[in-house]
Structure 1
Amino acid sequence: MPPQLQSPEIQAFATGFPLTLLHAGVTTLILFLGALAYVMLTPHREITLIREGNAAAAVSLGGVLVGLAIPLAVSLNASTSIIEIGVWGLSTVVVQLLVFRVVDLLLRGLPQRIQEGEVAAAALLVGAKLATAIILAAAVAG
């Protein structure tokens, strides 16, 4: 084997890169499942609305993705194993989904307003979701 391929840097990359891909893949799967759960919990069908050109639904769902990704990213950073990533990742998604639902309930009439394409209502909802995500991420980081 050539000496360049035996360098500590190459060996570290060869060992670490597959693990990095695995950790990122598990976290992305949790993000996808969390977003799917959110879509199932909402009274309107975001994907259908987005396909019909509803900007408010796109803004709202985009906020959900970012709102879930923030604490997941911190969980990924704080975790050292696949099990830890799964436990922290799933727990942050569950908490975030519960908080999203509470926010949706407190801001009455938002699902209908989003269905009607009211971007201002979606932007307020996204702000609440992102604020929650930042606080949850800070809690996970300790």
Structure 2
Amino acid sequence: MNLNFEAFATGAGHFLVAFGLAALFLAVFKRLYQMSTPYDEAKLIGQGNVAASVALGGAIIGFALPLASALTQTADPVEFAAWGLLAGVIQILASLLVRRVIVRDMVERIEANNVASAVYLAATSIGVGLLNAASMTY
């Protein structure tokens, strides 16, 4: 079995662009998500707050799922960016809905290291991410 270097080089170039763009989107989403929360995840996680870590981890996974789906649905970086932007907005809105409407004291719960509440928030983020990802097929 011989390696077709030209095909690999072309594929590797596409991989690097897609992976780099997805990693950038994930980093920007993480920052925007943290800005959308009234608590300081970095500080809480640094203090050993498992609830903050679980909630943030769920948000990251919840956003990575539709990014992965978008990568499989388009090879166009602009279209990928549009899907990523839409998915990020939906993820942040879902989190805001949970924190402000469904569990109004979620902030206090996360700050008090209530892991059960964090798991609920993380599960919601992952669930919304799965629906986001599945909805990108057309």
Residue in structure 2 matching 1:104, options 96, 99, 108: 99
Matched, 1:81 2:76: yes
Q: Which runs of 5+ in 2 are unaligned?
A: none
Q: CA deviation at 1:141?
A: 2.0
Residue in structure 1 matching 2:50, options 55, 74, 78: 55
Q: Which runs of 4+ in 1 moved over 2 A?
A: none
Q: Which residue does 1:135 correspond to in 2?
A: 131
Please give the root-mean-square deviation of Cα atoms over the aligned residues, in Å: 1.2
Alignment of 1:36-55 (within 5 A): 36-55=31-50
Contact 1:70-1:137 within 8 A present in 2 as well: yes
Query: Which protein shows a greater Rg?
Result: 1
Q: CA deviation at 1:55?
A: 0.6
Contact 2:59-2:91 within 8 A present in 1 as well: no
Q: CA deviation at 1:60?
A: 0.7
Secondary structure of the equivalent of 1:134? helix
In the aligned structure 2, how far is the partner of 1:43 from the partner of 1:53?
18
- Deviation by residue 1:61-86 (Cα, 9 ceiling, x = unmatched): 11111011001110111111111111
Residue in structure 2 matching 1:115, options 94, 97, 111: 111
Residue in structure 1 matching 2:25, options 15, 25, 30: 30
Contact 1:74-1:140 within 8 A present in 2 as well: yes
In the aligned structure 1, how far is the partner of 2:92 from the partner of 2:83?
14
Contact 1:46-1:58 within 8 A present in 2 as well: yes
Aligned amino acid, residue 53 of structure 2: A
Aligned length: 136
TM-score of the pair, normalised by structure 2: 0.93
